[in-house]
Amino acid sequence: MKKGRARGFDYEAALDAAEGVFRLKGFSGAGTTALMAAMKIGAGSYYSAFSSKENLYHLVLDRASERLLTAASMALKEKDGWDALKHLVDIVALQLVIFAPQGCVFSLTGAHQTQASSLKWKAHRAQMHTIVSACESRLKAERRREGLSNQVIALLDEIALEAALGSGRNGLVLVGRRGLSMLYDLGRQQNHTMSNGYGIASPRASQHGNVSKHELQAR
C-alpha cells in the first residue's frame, strides 16, 4: 500500500472532535473555523487532509456507520434469534451514548439535507436491515413472520430518538427489551390465532404501560 504524506496531528482524534461539532451544530451549522479549532489543526492541515467540510462530514458519517455496524454484527454470535435481537438492542443502546450529544449521528447532523449524505444514510440503514434480517433468520420457523425486520428497525429508531431526548443506556435497553417483548408476545398471539383459523391477530393493548414477564428476557 502506498503511504500518503505523514500528518502532523492525530487523525482519529481529529475526527472524534469533528464528529462532536457536527453532532452539536449539525452539518449546516458547523463552521470550518469551529471545526479546525475543535480538531486543533490549522487551515493547511485541514484542507490537505480533508479538502472540504463536506468531505470531512462524509468521513465522519462513514466512520460512525462502520463503528455501529461492526458492533451490531457481534449480535450474530448468538445462535438463537431472540438472543441475537436482545444483544443487538444492547449494542445499539451503548453506541448511541458514546458521543455527546448522544443519539444517531445521521439524524442529529441533518444527513438528509444533501443528496450525498442522504445516500450514505440509506446505505447505512440497508446494512443494518441486513443484520436484523440475519438475526431474524435464526428464529425458529414458528416464530418468523412477515414484517418483523421492519418492526425491529422501527424499534431501533425509537431507541435512537430516546437517546437524543437524553435517556441513558439503561433506559434505552429497557425501551428495546420492552419493544422486543411486545413483538414476541404479538408474534405468539398471531401464530396462535392463525393456527386456529381466525386470520391475523390484532396487537394487544398496553395502554397502562404494563411490562410483560418477558421484558428482561424477551424470550
Q: pLDDT digits over 119-132, tens only?
A: 999 999 999 999 99
Question: Closest Cα partner for 117 from 58, 160, 53?
Answer: 58
> What pLDDT score does 65 carry?
98
Alpha helices in the chain (DSSP H): 11-29, 32-39, 43-50, 53-73, 81-96, 105-109, 115-136, 148-164, 169-195
The pTM for the full model equals 0.81
> What pLDDT score does 143 carry?
73
Judge whether 109 and 57 are in contact, CB under 8 Å: yes
Which tens digit of pLDDT belongs to each residue from 11-44?
Answer: 999 999 999 999 999 999 999 999 999 999 999 9
- Angle at which helix 148-164 crosses helix 81-96, to 10 degrees, equals 20
DSSP label at residue 141: G
- 169 pLDDT above the threshold of 90: yes
Measured distance CA(77)–CA(34) in Å, rounded: 41
> What pLDDT score does 140 carry?
81
Question: Closest Cα partner for 113 from 23, 22, 28, 20?
Answer: 28
Across 89-121, b (16+ Cβ under 10 Å) vs e yields bbbbbebbbebeebbbbbebbbbeeeeebeebb
Measured distance CA(111)–CA(27) in Å, rounded: 8
Specify burial of residue 76 (Cβ count, 10 A radius: 0-12, 13-18, 19+): middle
Q: How far apart are the first and last CA of the chain?
A: 48
Per-residue pLDDT, averaged over 75-91, amounts to 95
Q: Is 147 left (phi over 0), alpha (psi -120 to 50) or beta?
A: left
CA-angle at 129, arms to 190 and 61, nearest 5°? 150
Which tens digit of pLDDT belongs to each residue from 40-49?
Answer: 999 999 999 9
Question: Closest Cα partner for 57 from 115, 124, 109, 125?
Answer: 109
Question: Closest Cα partner for 22 from 69, 46, 54, 47?
Answer: 54
> Which residue is associated with the grid cell 443528496?
115
| Percentage of residues of the chain with pLDDT beyond 70 | 81
> Which residue is associated with the grid cell 438528509?
112
